[in-house]
Protein backbone atom coordinates (compact mmCIF):
# COMPACT_ATOMS: atom_id res chain seq x y z
CA UNK A 1 0.00 0.00 0.00
CA UNK A 2 1.31 3.45 -0.89
CA UNK A 3 1.08 6.24 1.69
CA UNK A 4 0.97 8.92 -0.99
CA UNK A 5 -0.54 9.31 -4.47
CA UNK A 6 -3.12 12.09 -4.36
CA UNK A 7 -1.10 14.49 -6.48
CA UNK A 8 0.13 11.89 -8.96
CA UNK A 9 -1.57 11.02 -12.24
CA UNK A 10 -0.26 7.47 -12.10
CA UNK A 11 1.53 5.08 -9.79
CA UNK A 12 5.29 4.62 -9.88
CA UNK A 13 6.92 2.62 -12.66
CA UNK A 14 7.75 -0.95 -11.67
CA UNK A 15 11.45 -0.12 -11.69
CA UNK A 16 10.84 2.79 -9.31
CA UNK A 17 8.74 0.68 -6.96
CA UNK A 18 11.51 -1.91 -6.94
CA UNK A 19 14.18 0.68 -6.21
CA UNK A 20 12.15 2.49 -3.60
CA UNK A 21 10.94 -0.58 -1.75
CA UNK A 22 12.59 -1.15 1.62
CA UNK A 23 10.10 -3.48 3.25
CA UNK A 24 12.18 -6.59 2.52
CA UNK A 25 14.75 -5.36 5.00
CA UNK A 26 12.99 -2.75 7.15
CA UNK A 27 10.33 -5.27 8.19
CA UNK A 28 12.70 -5.91 11.09
CA UNK A 29 11.39 -2.61 12.47
CA UNK A 30 7.77 -3.81 12.58
CA UNK A 31 7.46 -4.50 16.34
CA UNK A 32 8.93 -1.09 17.14
CA UNK A 33 6.72 0.64 14.56
CA UNK A 34 3.61 -0.79 16.24
CA UNK A 35 4.85 0.34 19.65
CA UNK A 36 5.61 3.89 18.46
CA UNK A 37 2.19 4.07 16.79
CA UNK A 38 0.54 3.08 20.08
CA UNK A 39 2.40 5.80 21.97
CA UNK A 40 1.48 8.29 19.25
CA UNK A 41 -2.15 7.21 19.46
CA UNK A 42 -2.21 8.02 23.19
CA UNK A 43 -1.26 11.59 22.30
CA UNK A 44 -3.73 11.83 19.42
CA UNK A 45 -6.42 10.78 21.86
CA UNK A 46 -5.46 13.06 24.70
CA UNK A 47 -5.14 16.01 22.31
CA UNK A 48 -8.62 15.27 20.95
CA UNK A 49 -7.48 14.53 17.38
CA UNK A 50 -8.94 11.06 17.60
CA UNK A 51 -12.12 10.38 19.59
CA UNK A 52 -12.22 7.90 22.44
CA UNK A 53 -14.08 5.18 20.49
CA UNK A 54 -11.88 5.41 17.42
CA UNK A 55 -8.80 5.44 19.62
CA UNK A 56 -9.99 2.31 21.41
CA UNK A 57 -10.60 0.55 18.09
CA UNK A 58 -7.21 1.55 16.68
CA UNK A 59 -5.51 0.53 19.93
CA UNK A 60 -7.04 -2.94 19.81
CA UNK A 61 -6.23 -3.20 16.11
CA UNK A 62 -2.58 -2.25 16.67
CA UNK A 63 -2.26 -4.64 19.60
CA UNK A 64 -3.67 -7.50 17.52
CA UNK A 65 -1.43 -6.58 14.64
CA UNK A 66 1.59 -6.57 16.96
CA UNK A 67 0.75 -10.09 18.11
CA UNK A 68 0.22 -11.29 14.55
CA UNK A 69 3.56 -9.78 13.52
CA UNK A 70 5.25 -11.60 16.40
CA UNK A 71 3.62 -14.92 15.48
CA UNK A 72 4.23 -14.43 11.76
CA UNK A 73 0.50 -14.36 10.94
CA UNK A 74 0.78 -10.86 9.51
CA UNK A 75 3.54 -9.83 7.16
CA UNK A 76 4.23 -7.53 4.22
CA UNK A 77 3.07 -8.16 0.68
CA UNK A 78 4.38 -7.43 -2.80
CA UNK A 79 2.66 -4.05 -2.97
CA UNK A 80 3.98 -2.66 0.33
CA UNK A 81 6.67 -0.01 0.00
CA UNK A 82 8.03 -0.08 3.52
CA UNK A 83 7.27 -1.30 7.03
CA UNK A 84 5.17 1.79 7.80
CA UNK A 85 2.88 1.33 4.81
CA UNK A 86 2.52 -2.40 5.48
CA UNK A 87 1.46 -1.74 9.05
CA UNK A 88 -1.01 0.97 8.06
CA UNK A 89 -2.49 -1.45 5.51
CA UNK A 90 -2.82 -4.11 8.21
CA UNK A 91 -4.42 -1.65 10.60
CA UNK A 92 -6.96 -0.44 8.05
CA UNK A 93 -7.81 -4.04 7.21
CA UNK A 94 -8.67 -4.55 10.87
CA UNK A 95 -10.43 -1.32 11.84
CA UNK A 96 -11.52 0.22 8.53
CA UNK A 97 -10.60 3.61 7.09
CA UNK A 98 -10.46 5.28 10.53
CA UNK A 99 -7.15 3.40 10.85
CA UNK A 100 -5.72 6.09 8.59
CA UNK A 101 -6.11 8.61 11.47
CA UNK A 102 -2.92 7.26 13.02
CA UNK A 103 -0.94 9.13 10.39
CA UNK A 104 -1.95 12.57 11.71
CA UNK A 105 0.81 14.63 13.26
CA UNK A 106 3.68 12.34 12.37
CA UNK A 107 5.76 11.66 9.31
CA UNK A 108 7.65 8.60 8.20
CA UNK A 109 10.71 10.80 8.63
CA UNK A 110 10.43 10.96 12.40
CA UNK A 111 8.73 7.56 12.66
CA UNK A 112 11.47 5.62 10.88
CA UNK A 113 14.28 7.08 12.92
CA UNK A 114 12.37 6.44 16.16
CA UNK A 115 11.73 2.80 15.18
CA UNK A 116 15.36 2.46 14.18
CA UNK A 117 16.63 3.79 17.50
CA UNK A 118 14.42 1.38 19.39
CA UNK A 119 15.66 -1.49 17.22
CA UNK A 120 19.22 -0.48 18.02
CA UNK A 121 18.67 -0.16 21.76
CA UNK A 122 17.10 -3.62 21.80
CA UNK A 123 19.76 -5.28 19.67
CA UNK A 124 22.81 -3.54 21.13
CA UNK A 125 21.69 -4.83 24.52
CA UNK A 126 21.53 -8.33 23.07
CA UNK A 127 25.01 -7.95 21.59
CA UNK A 128 26.18 -6.69 24.99
CA UNK A 129 24.82 -9.84 26.65
CA UNK A 130 26.80 -12.02 24.21
CA UNK A 131 29.97 -9.98 24.70
CA UNK A 132 29.60 -10.38 28.48
CA UNK A 133 29.26 -14.15 28.00
CA UNK A 134 32.46 -14.17 25.94
CA UNK A 135 34.23 -12.22 28.69
CA UNK A 136 33.11 -14.90 31.16
CA UNK A 137 34.55 -17.63 28.93
CA UNK A 138 37.85 -15.75 28.61
CA UNK A 139 38.23 -15.07 32.33
CA UNK A 140 37.47 -18.73 33.10
CA UNK A 141 40.26 -19.88 30.75
CA UNK A 142 42.60 -17.18 32.07
CA UNK A 143 41.96 -18.39 35.60
CA UNK A 144 42.62 -21.99 34.60
CA UNK A 145 45.95 -21.00 33.06
CA UNK A 146 47.03 -18.29 35.44
CA UNK A 147 50.11 -20.27 36.44
CA UNK A 148 51.11 -21.47 32.98
CA UNK A 149 54.34 -19.81 31.93
CA UNK A 150 54.43 -18.59 28.35
CA UNK A 151 56.72 -16.70 26.04
CA UNK A 152 55.38 -13.20 25.47
CA UNK A 153 55.85 -11.79 21.99
CA UNK A 154 56.47 -8.41 20.43
CA UNK A 155 56.78 -8.23 16.62
CA UNK A 156 55.77 -11.92 16.84
CA UNK A 157 59.27 -12.57 18.21
CA UNK A 158 60.00 -13.92 21.68
CA UNK A 159 60.22 -10.95 23.99
CA UNK A 160 59.71 -11.61 27.72
CA UNK A 161 58.17 -14.42 29.76
CA UNK A 162 54.60 -13.89 30.91
CA UNK A 163 51.80 -15.94 32.45
CA UNK A 164 49.41 -17.43 29.92
CA UNK A 165 46.42 -16.29 31.99
CA UNK A 166 47.69 -12.74 31.50
CA UNK A 167 47.88 -13.36 27.75
CA UNK A 168 44.28 -14.60 27.60
CA UNK A 169 42.82 -12.01 29.96
CA UNK A 170 43.91 -9.09 27.75
CA UNK A 171 41.02 -9.94 25.41
CA UNK A 172 38.53 -9.52 28.24
CA UNK A 173 39.85 -6.00 28.89
CA UNK A 174 39.29 -5.07 25.25
CA UNK A 175 35.78 -6.51 25.25
CA UNK A 176 34.90 -4.72 28.50
CA UNK A 177 35.65 -1.48 26.69
CA UNK A 178 33.13 -2.56 24.05
CA UNK A 179 30.51 -2.99 26.77
CA UNK A 180 31.45 0.40 28.09
CA UNK A 181 30.95 1.87 24.64
CA UNK A 182 27.50 0.30 24.39
CA UNK A 183 26.57 1.78 27.78
CA UNK A 184 27.89 5.11 26.63
CA UNK A 185 25.96 4.84 23.35
CA UNK A 186 22.74 4.22 25.26
CA UNK A 187 23.32 7.17 27.52
CA UNK A 188 23.99 9.61 24.69
CA UNK A 189 21.49 8.34 22.16
CA UNK A 190 18.47 7.63 24.27
CA UNK A 191 16.69 10.79 23.13
CA UNK A 192 13.58 10.62 21.01
CA UNK A 193 13.35 12.10 17.51
CA UNK A 194 9.58 11.54 17.53
CA UNK A 195 7.49 14.68 17.15
CA UNK A 196 9.90 16.18 14.63
CA UNK A 197 7.30 15.47 11.95
CA UNK A 198 8.61 15.80 8.42
CA UNK A 199 11.22 18.33 9.60
CA UNK A 200 9.51 21.26 11.33
CA UNK A 201 7.89 19.66 14.36
CA UNK A 202 4.22 18.86 14.65
CA UNK A 203 1.26 21.01 15.63
CA UNK A 204 -0.79 17.92 16.25
CA UNK A 205 1.89 16.25 18.42
CA UNK A 206 2.66 19.15 20.79
CA UNK A 207 4.05 17.08 23.65
CA UNK A 208 6.71 14.82 22.17
CA UNK A 209 8.32 14.63 25.58
CA UNK A 210 5.34 12.60 26.82
CA UNK A 211 5.65 10.12 23.95
CA UNK A 212 9.39 9.97 24.53
CA UNK A 213 8.85 9.01 28.15
CA UNK A 214 6.32 6.37 27.25
CA UNK A 215 8.88 4.85 24.86
CA UNK A 216 11.57 4.78 27.54
CA UNK A 217 13.70 7.61 26.11
CA UNK A 218 15.33 9.99 28.55
CA UNK A 219 14.35 13.12 26.59
CA UNK A 220 13.55 14.53 23.16
CA UNK A 221 15.82 15.82 20.47
CA UNK A 222 15.92 19.62 20.79
CA UNK A 223 15.85 20.45 17.06
CA UNK A 224 13.35 18.83 14.70
CA UNK A 225 15.59 19.29 11.64
CA UNK A 226 18.48 17.61 13.38
CA UNK A 227 16.13 14.94 14.72
CA UNK A 228 15.19 13.65 11.26
CA UNK A 229 18.73 14.04 9.86
CA UNK A 230 20.78 12.63 12.69
CA UNK A 231 22.29 9.24 11.99
CA UNK A 232 25.32 9.77 14.23
CA UNK A 233 23.79 7.17 16.51
CA UNK A 234 23.78 4.62 13.68
CA UNK A 235 27.36 5.41 12.69
CA UNK A 236 28.44 5.20 16.33
CA UNK A 237 26.69 1.86 16.67
CA UNK A 238 28.45 0.60 13.53
CA UNK A 239 31.77 1.70 15.00
CA UNK A 240 31.02 -0.12 18.27
CA UNK A 241 30.03 -3.25 16.32
CA UNK A 242 33.08 -3.01 14.05
CA UNK A 243 35.35 -2.65 17.08
CA UNK A 244 33.83 -5.81 18.57
CA UNK A 245 34.50 -7.47 15.21
CA UNK A 246 38.10 -6.30 15.29
CA UNK A 247 38.53 -7.70 18.80
CA UNK A 248 37.08 -11.02 17.64
CA UNK A 249 39.40 -10.99 14.64
CA UNK A 250 42.43 -10.67 16.90
CA UNK A 251 41.19 -13.59 19.01
CA UNK A 252 40.63 -15.51 15.76
CA UNK A 253 44.16 -14.81 14.56
CA UNK A 254 45.67 -16.10 17.81
CA UNK A 255 43.60 -19.27 17.83
CA UNK A 256 44.52 -19.94 14.21
CA UNK A 257 48.21 -19.53 14.99
CA UNK A 258 48.16 -21.34 18.32
CA UNK A 259 46.40 -24.37 16.86
CA UNK A 260 49.06 -24.96 14.18
CA UNK A 261 51.26 -28.02 14.70
CA UNK A 262 54.23 -25.66 14.86
CA UNK A 263 52.79 -23.97 17.94
CA UNK A 264 50.66 -26.77 19.38
CA UNK A 265 49.42 -24.44 22.12
CA UNK A 266 45.69 -24.85 21.56
CA UNK A 267 43.52 -27.79 20.61
CA UNK A 268 40.24 -26.43 19.30
CA UNK A 269 37.36 -28.74 20.15
CA UNK A 270 36.03 -30.90 17.30
CA UNK A 271 32.63 -29.22 17.65
CA UNK A 272 34.25 -25.88 16.85
CA UNK A 273 36.46 -27.04 13.97
CA UNK A 274 35.73 -28.12 10.42
CA UNK A 275 37.16 -30.67 8.02
CA UNK A 276 38.41 -30.64 4.46
CA UNK A 277 36.44 -32.09 1.56
CA UNK A 278 39.56 -33.61 0.03
CA UNK A 279 42.10 -34.11 2.81
CA UNK A 280 40.57 -36.55 5.29
CA UNK A 281 43.17 -35.86 7.98
CA UNK A 282 42.47 -32.12 8.19
CA UNK A 283 40.99 -30.31 11.15
CA UNK A 284 40.74 -26.63 10.34
CA UNK A 285 40.22 -23.65 12.65
CA UNK A 286 37.44 -22.21 10.47
CA UNK A 287 35.59 -20.56 13.37
CA UNK A 288 38.74 -18.65 14.29
CA UNK A 289 39.25 -17.73 10.64
CA UNK A 290 35.67 -16.55 10.24
CA UNK A 291 36.09 -14.47 13.40
CA UNK A 292 39.04 -12.88 11.64
CA UNK A 293 37.31 -12.60 8.28
CA UNK A 294 33.91 -11.26 9.36
CA UNK A 295 35.55 -8.10 10.65
CA UNK A 296 35.85 -7.08 6.99
CA UNK A 297 32.13 -6.65 6.50
CA UNK A 298 31.70 -5.00 9.90
CA UNK A 299 34.25 -2.36 8.96
CA UNK A 300 32.69 -2.08 5.49
CA UNK A 301 29.26 -1.42 6.98
CA UNK A 302 30.62 1.48 9.03
CA UNK A 303 32.38 2.91 5.99
CA UNK A 304 29.28 2.55 3.86
CA UNK A 305 27.10 4.62 6.21
CA UNK A 306 29.76 7.29 6.72
CA UNK A 307 29.94 7.74 2.95
CA UNK A 308 26.14 8.05 2.70
CA UNK A 309 26.15 10.76 5.37
CA UNK A 310 29.05 12.81 4.03
CA UNK A 311 27.86 16.07 2.48
CA UNK A 312 24.20 15.10 2.82
CA UNK A 313 21.84 18.07 3.16
CA UNK A 314 20.00 18.29 6.47
CA UNK A 315 16.42 17.11 7.11
CA UNK A 316 15.25 13.94 5.43
CA UNK A 317 16.73 12.76 2.14
CA UNK A 318 15.96 9.37 0.73
CA UNK A 319 19.67 8.52 0.89
CA UNK A 320 18.98 7.98 4.57
CA UNK A 321 17.10 4.78 3.77
CA UNK A 322 20.58 3.35 3.18
CA UNK A 323 21.25 3.55 6.93
CA UNK A 324 19.48 0.31 7.78
CA UNK A 325 21.05 -2.58 5.90
CA UNK A 326 24.56 -1.96 7.26
CA UNK A 327 23.17 -1.99 10.80
CA UNK A 328 21.07 -5.11 10.26
CA UNK A 329 24.02 -6.86 8.67
CA UNK A 330 26.45 -5.94 11.45
CA UNK A 331 24.00 -6.97 14.17
CA UNK A 332 23.11 -10.24 12.46
CA UNK A 333 26.75 -11.02 11.72
CA UNK A 334 27.61 -10.71 15.39
CA UNK A 335 24.58 -12.79 16.36
CA UNK A 336 26.00 -15.74 14.42
CA UNK A 337 29.64 -15.06 15.18
CA UNK A 338 29.64 -14.39 18.92
CA UNK A 339 27.98 -17.67 20.04
CA UNK A 340 30.50 -19.66 17.94
CA UNK A 341 33.46 -17.73 19.37
CA UNK A 342 32.09 -18.17 22.90
CA UNK A 343 31.82 -21.94 22.31
CA UNK A 344 35.32 -22.11 20.86
CA UNK A 345 36.72 -20.15 23.80
CA UNK A 346 34.95 -22.34 26.35
CA UNK A 347 35.99 -25.65 24.83
CA UNK A 348 39.53 -25.06 23.57
CA UNK A 349 42.20 -27.02 25.44
CA UNK A 350 45.40 -25.10 26.01
CA UNK A 351 48.55 -27.19 26.33
CA UNK A 352 50.77 -25.89 29.18
CA UNK A 353 53.81 -28.04 28.28
CA UNK A 354 53.90 -26.78 24.68
CA UNK A 355 53.19 -23.22 25.77
CA UNK A 356 56.02 -23.23 28.28
CA UNK A 357 58.51 -24.99 26.02
CA UNK A 358 59.87 -21.97 24.20
CA UNK A 359 59.81 -19.54 27.08
CA UNK A 360 63.59 -18.93 27.13
CA UNK A 361 63.96 -18.89 23.35
CA UNK A 362 65.34 -15.71 21.90
CA UNK A 363 67.18 -14.88 25.16
CA UNK A 364 63.96 -13.58 26.61
CA UNK A 365 65.59 -12.87 29.98
CA UNK A 366 68.02 -10.29 28.60
CA UNK A 367 65.96 -7.47 30.12
CA UNK A 368 66.58 -9.06 33.54
CA UNK A 369 70.33 -8.63 33.02
CA UNK A 370 69.82 -4.98 32.12
CA UNK A 371 67.44 -4.43 35.06
CA UNK A 372 69.98 -6.10 37.41
CA UNK A 373 72.60 -3.54 36.41
CA UNK A 374 70.14 -0.64 36.46
CA UNK A 375 69.26 -1.54 40.07
CA UNK A 376 72.95 -1.25 40.86
CA UNK A 377 73.08 2.29 39.54
CA UNK A 378 74.34 1.64 36.00
CA UNK A 379 72.66 4.04 33.52
CA UNK A 380 70.14 1.98 31.57
CA UNK A 381 71.77 2.80 28.23
CA UNK A 382 74.97 1.10 29.44
CA UNK A 383 73.05 -1.70 31.16
CA UNK A 384 71.22 -2.35 27.88
CA UNK A 385 74.55 -2.48 25.98
CA UNK A 386 75.96 -4.94 28.52
CA UNK A 387 72.91 -7.20 28.37
CA UNK A 388 73.18 -7.11 24.58
CA UNK A 389 76.81 -8.15 24.83
CA UNK A 390 75.74 -11.10 27.02
CA UNK A 391 73.28 -12.15 24.32
CA UNK A 392 76.04 -11.92 21.73
CA UNK A 393 78.26 -14.14 23.89
CA UNK A 394 75.41 -16.62 24.25
CA UNK A 395 74.93 -16.76 20.51
CA UNK A 396 78.64 -17.30 19.93
CA UNK A 397 78.76 -20.10 22.50
CA UNK A 398 75.27 -21.49 21.85
CA UNK A 399 74.28 -21.00 25.46
CA UNK A 400 71.30 -19.59 27.35
CA UNK A 401 71.94 -16.48 29.46
CA UNK A 402 71.91 -18.37 32.76
CA UNK A 403 74.52 -20.77 31.37
CA UNK A 404 77.17 -18.03 31.00
CA UNK A 405 80.06 -18.43 33.44
CA UNK A 406 80.97 -15.92 36.16
CA UNK A 407 84.02 -15.03 34.06
CA UNK A 408 81.80 -14.40 31.02
CA UNK A 409 79.54 -12.06 33.02
CA UNK A 410 82.47 -10.22 34.59
CA UNK A 411 84.07 -9.79 31.17
CA UNK A 412 81.00 -7.96 29.98
CA UNK A 413 80.55 -5.66 32.99
CA UNK A 414 82.33 -5.50 36.38
CA UNK A 415 79.01 -5.23 38.23
CA UNK A 416 77.61 -8.40 36.64
CA UNK A 417 78.28 -10.60 39.63
CA UNK A 418 77.22 -14.24 39.82
CA UNK A 419 74.04 -13.39 41.75
CA UNK A 420 72.61 -12.12 38.45
CA UNK A 421 71.94 -15.79 37.73
CA UNK A 422 69.25 -15.85 40.44
CA UNK A 423 67.26 -13.38 38.29
CA UNK A 424 67.59 -15.50 35.21
CA UNK A 425 64.58 -17.74 35.56
CA UNK A 426 61.31 -17.27 33.76
CA UNK A 427 59.30 -17.34 36.95
CA UNK A 428 61.66 -14.89 38.66
CA UNK A 429 61.27 -12.48 35.75
CA UNK A 430 57.50 -12.91 35.78
CA UNK A 431 57.04 -12.44 39.49
CA UNK A 432 59.28 -9.38 39.62
CA UNK A 433 56.64 -7.59 37.53
CA UNK A 434 54.11 -7.25 40.30
CA UNK A 435 52.64 -3.84 39.52
CA UNK A 436 48.89 -3.47 38.87
CA UNK A 437 49.05 -4.30 35.12
CA UNK A 438 52.10 -6.60 35.44
CA UNK A 439 52.42 -10.29 34.71
CA UNK A 440 53.29 -11.61 38.21
CA UNK A 441 50.98 -14.25 39.60
CA UNK A 442 49.67 -11.91 42.31
CA UNK A 443 48.99 -9.18 39.70
CA UNK A 444 47.24 -11.61 37.37
CA UNK A 445 45.07 -12.99 40.17
CA UNK A 446 43.98 -9.44 41.04
CA UNK A 447 43.41 -8.56 37.38
CA UNK A 448 41.17 -11.56 36.86
CA UNK A 449 39.20 -10.82 40.04
CA UNK A 450 38.73 -7.25 38.84
CA UNK A 451 37.60 -8.42 35.39
CA UNK A 452 35.07 -10.80 36.92
CA UNK A 453 33.64 -8.10 39.15
CA UNK A 454 33.46 -5.52 36.34
CA UNK A 455 31.79 -8.04 34.05
CA UNK A 456 29.28 -8.98 36.74
CA UNK A 457 28.46 -5.31 37.08
CA UNK A 458 28.02 -5.09 33.29
CA UNK A 459 25.75 -8.11 33.29
CA UNK A 460 23.59 -6.44 35.91
CA UNK A 461 23.10 -3.23 33.97
CA UNK A 462 22.48 -5.12 30.74
CA UNK A 463 19.86 -7.24 32.50
CA UNK A 464 18.16 -4.17 34.02
CA UNK A 465 18.11 -2.29 30.72
CA UNK A 466 16.71 -5.33 28.92
CA UNK A 467 13.99 -5.75 31.52
CA UNK A 468 12.82 -2.18 31.24
CA UNK A 469 13.00 -2.30 27.44
CA UNK A 470 10.90 -5.47 27.35
CA UNK A 471 8.30 -4.02 29.66
CA UNK A 472 8.13 -0.81 27.57
CA UNK A 473 7.53 -2.97 24.46
CA UNK A 474 4.51 -4.76 26.00
CA UNK A 475 1.45 -3.98 23.91
Q: Footprint of ligand ARG on this chain (CB under 6 A)?
A: 22, 26, 82, 108-109, 112, 316, 318, 320-321
Find out whether 340 and 137 touch, Cβ atoms under 8 Å.
no
Nearer to ligand ARG among residue 319 and residue 332 (C-beta): 319
Find out whether 418 and 424 touch, Cβ atoms under 8 Å.
no
Nearer to ligand ARG among residue 151 and residue 193 (C-beta): 193
| Alpha-carbon separation of residue 364 from 154, 160, 367 (angstroms) | 11, 5, 7
Report the nearest approach of ligand ARG to the CB of residue 90 (Å).
17
Report the nearest approach of ligand ARG to the CB of residue 2 (Å).
11
Report the nearest approach of ligand ARG to the CB of residue 63 (Å).
23
Q: How far apart are CA 137 and CA 455, in angstroms?
A: 11
Q: What is the DSSP string of 3-17?
A: S--TT-SSPPPHHHH
Within 207-363, residue ranges assigned H as helices are: 208-214, 224-229, 232-258, 286-293, 295-309, 324-347, 352-357
Nearer to ligand ARG among residue 26 and residue 178 (C-beta): 26
Q: How far apart are CA 70 and CA 263, in angstroms?
A: 49
Classify 368 as helix, strand or coil. helix
Report the nearest approach of ligand ARG to the CB of residue 89 (Å).
15
**Cβ atoms within 10 Å of 62's Cβ, excluding its own:** 25
Find out whether 294 and 208 touch, Cβ atoms under 8 Å.
no
Beta bridge partners of 151: 161
Report the nearest approach of ligand ARG to the CB of residue 126 (Å).
22
Long-range contacts, 375-378 (Cβ 8 Å, 24+): 376/415, 378/413, 378/415
Buried b (16+ CB within 10 A) or exposed e, 295-314: bebbbebbebbeebbeeeee
Find out whether 356 and 167 touch, Cβ atoms under 8 Å.
no
| Alpha-carbon separation of residue 185 from 165, 386, 457 (angstroms) | 31, 51, 17
Q: How far apart are CA 378 and CA 392, in angstroms?
A: 20
Report the nearest approach of ligand ARG to the CB of residue 460 (Å).
35
Give catalytic residue positions.
Answer: 155, 276
Nearer to ligand ARG among residue 113 and residue 365 (C-beta): 113
Report the nearest approach of ligand ARG to the CB of residue 1 (Å).
13
Nearer to ligand ARG among residue 325 and residue 408 (C-beta): 325
Within 413-440, residue ranges assigned H as helices are: 426-431
CB neighbour list of residue 181: distance below 8 Å, 6 or more residues apart? 240, 243
Nearer to ligand ARG among residue 38 and residue 113 (C-beta): 113
User: With 0-12 CB in 10 A as exposed, 13-18 as middle and 19+ as buried, what is 155?
Assistant: exposed
Nearer to ligand ARG among residue 111 and residue 128 (C-beta): 111
Q: How far apart are CA 363 and CA 71, in angstroms?
A: 64
Nearer to ligand ARG among residue 321 and residue 431 (C-beta): 321
Classify 350 as helix, strand or coil. strand
Classify 121 as helix, strand or coil. helix
Beta bridge partners of 191: 219
Nearer to ligand ARG among residue 26 and residue 136 (C-beta): 26
Amino acid sequence: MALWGGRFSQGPADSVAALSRSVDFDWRLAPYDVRVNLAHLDQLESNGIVGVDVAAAIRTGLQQLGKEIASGDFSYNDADEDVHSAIERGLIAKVGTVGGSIRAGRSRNDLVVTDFKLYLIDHLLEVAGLVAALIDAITAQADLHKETIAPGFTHLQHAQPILFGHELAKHAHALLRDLDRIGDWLERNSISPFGAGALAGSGIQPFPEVTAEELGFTGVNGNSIDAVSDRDFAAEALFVLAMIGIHLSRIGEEFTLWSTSEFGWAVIDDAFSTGSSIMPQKKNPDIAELARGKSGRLIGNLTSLLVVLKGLPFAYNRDLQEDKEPIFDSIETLFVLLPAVIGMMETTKFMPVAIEAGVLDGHSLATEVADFLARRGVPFSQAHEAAGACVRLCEEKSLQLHELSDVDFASVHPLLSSDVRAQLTALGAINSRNSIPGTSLSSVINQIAELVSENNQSKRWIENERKSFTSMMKL
